[in-house]
Amino acid sequence: MEILDGKHIAQTIRQELHEQVESLIRRGMRVPSLAIVQVGNNPASTTYVTNKLKACREVGFNARLVSLPADISQQQLLAKINELNSDNSIDGFIVQLPLPSHINETTVTCAINYHKDVDGLHPHNVGLTALGLPGIVSATPRGIRELLMRYGITTEGKHVVVIGRSNIVGKPMAMLLMQKPYLSLPKMSAASLGDATVTLCHSKTRNLKQICLTADIIIVAVGQPNLLTADMVSEGTVVVDVGINRIDDPSSEKGYRLVGDVDFQHVAPKCSFITPVPGGVGPMTIVSLLQNTMQVYMDSITV
Ligand code: GUN
């Protein structure tokens, strides 16, 4: 069994991005710039946002936090988004989710200028991904694709089971995996992912265990500790755990620890490759956001 070390791969990609930024600076050009909008102060969101801003600064991007109160009206938030849409000093921005319950996430996502939508969540970018056309790919699926590619794991003809049908992970992941690779990544190497036989499972799926037992690769993105157990996994399967769940742990300094959706201890020995939590998909999601920002920046200077 080999660990898919997202922390290490993300560090390598940050180094690559840093070198690209240095080269821009040497040529007297401006550096890419990302803004993050956070509404309220949900502790998990604060951790993610802090890590995203830190990663941005590490590679030399400009990074701006737009912190808004939890009781901001939807209209005020939309006005702020419009401001960022027309701010030429910002290449891309994201609105950290979840939002307070009085704000409609779909309305907010649709209000973002899709050229600046570095989360890849706007219907325009989701549509491009569905059609296999170049656009901005949702950060977590992009990160998983990169992680598999860098470990030389191919998907052609393989049965990939995706568990979870979220707009942010499950659906775009399934779309990327089933595509003809040359359609999805025209500017990149032929060693891209795609051509898989994809089964998308969710909470109403019957026989989840039987389906998982026929998988070559299982990607779990549900948000439920121990959802994937050892009896559901065949020998040699690749397992990608997208879950990041906080569970109480009085023995830890913070009072909690992070676990994924996979019963790692019992599943790992059966796998050919598996991602750990933390240190697997999480760092790849953050670095994908940086790659999306660099992509938007490059498009803006080459048109
Ligand atoms: N909340 C959890 N993951 C994400 C993400 O990738 N993007 C945004 N905007 N919010 C999130």
Residue 126 belongs to a domain? no
**Residue 48 shares a structural domain with residue 169:** no
**Is position 96 annotated as part of the catalytic site?**
yes
Mutate to test the pocket of ligand 1, among 65, 96, 125, 246 (most ligand atoms within 8 A of CB): 96
**Residue 181 shares a structural domain with residue 275:** yes
Asked if the model's pLDDT at residue 14 lies above 80, the reply is: yes
Asked if the model's pLDDT at residue 138 lies above 90, the reply is: yes
Q: Please report the DSSP string for 145-207 in residue order.
A: HHHHHHTT---TT-EEEEE---TTTHHHHHHHHHS-HHHH-TTS-S------EEEEE-TT-S-
**Residue 153 shares a structural domain with residue 252:** yes
User: Closest ligand 1 atom, CA of 138?
Assistant: 6
Domain containing 75 — which CATH number? Answer: 3.40.50.10860
Domain containing 237 — which CATH number? Answer: 3.40.50.720
User: Closest ligand 1 atom, CA of 119?
Assistant: 7
Mutate to test the pocket of ligand 1, among 97, 137, 287 (most ligand atoms within 8 A of CB): 97
**Is position 261 annotated as part of the catalytic site?**
no
Residue 272 belongs to a domain? yes
Each residue of 214-271: pLDDT tens digit? Answer: 999 999 999 999 999 999 999 999 999 999 999 999 999 999 999 999 999 999 999 9
148: domain range?
138-281
Q: Of 113, 130, 159, which marks where a domain is finished?
A: 113
Total structural domains in the chain?
2
Please give the distance of CA 295 from its chain centroid, rounded to a whole number. 15
According to the model, what pLDDT value does residue 191 have? 46
Which token pair is 49?
Answer: 């946002």
Residue 217 belongs to a domain? yes
Residue 133 belongs to a domain? no
Residue 161 belongs to a domain? yes
Q: Which of 5, 38, 96, 171 is catalytic?
A: 96
This prediction has a pTM of: 0.95
Residue environment code for 18-31, b if the CB has 16+ CB neighbours within 10 A, otherwise e: eebbeebeeeeeeb
Distance CA 140, CA 143 (A): 5
Strand (E) positions, 14-158? 33-39, 62-68, 92-95
According to the model, what pLDDT value does residue 187 have? 47
**Residue 96 shares a structural domain with residue 143:** no
**The most confident of 49-53, 185-189, 192-196, by mean pLDDT:** 49-53
Strand (E) positions, 13-104? 33-39, 62-68, 92-95
Long-range contacts made by residues 23-27, C-beta under 8 angstroms, separation at least 24?
A: 25/60
- Average pLDDT for 43-62: 96
According to the model, what pLDDT value does residue 181 have? 77
Q: Where does the pLDDT of residue 186 fall: very low under 50, low under 70, confident under 90, or very high at 90 and above?
A: very low
**Residue 93 shares a structural domain with residue 195:** no
Residue 242 belongs to a domain? yes
Q: Which residues have any ligand 1 atom within 6 Å of their CB?
A: 94-97, 119, 139-140, 168, 285
Count of beta carbons in the 10 Å neighbourhood of residue 144: 29
Q: How far is CA 199 from CA 9, 39, 139, 205, 257, in A?
A: 27, 35, 21, 10, 31
Residue environment code for 34-49, b if the CB has 16+ CB neighbours within 10 A, otherwise e: bbbbbbbebeebeebb
**Residue 239 shares a structural domain with residue 147:** yes
Ligand 1 mean position, distance from CA 150 (Å): 23
Ligand 1 mean position, distance from CA 302 (Å): 28
**Residue 90 shares a structural domain with residue 153:** no
**Residue 183 shares a structural domain with residue 260:** yes
**Residue 273 shares a structural domain with residue 146:** yes
Q: What is the mean pLDDT of the chain?
A: 95
**Residue 148 shares a structural domain with residue 272:** yes
**Residue 81 shares a structural domain with residue 142:** no
Q: Is 75 helix (H, G, I), strand (E, B) or coil?
A: helix
**Is position 119 annotated as part of the catalytic site?**
yes
Residue 127 belongs to a domain? no
Which residues, including other chains, have CB under 8 Å from residue 35's CB and lie 6 or more apart?
63, 64, 65, 66, 84, 87, 90, 92, 93, 94
Q: What's the N-to-C CA distance of the chain in angstroms?
A: 46
According to the model, what pLDDT value does residue 302 have? 79
Shortest-distance Cα residue to atom 11 of ligand 1: 97
Distance CA 257, CA 221 (A): 18
Which token pair is 62?
Answer: 């400009």
Residue 71 belongs to a domain? yes
**Residue 80 shares a structural domain with residue 143:** no
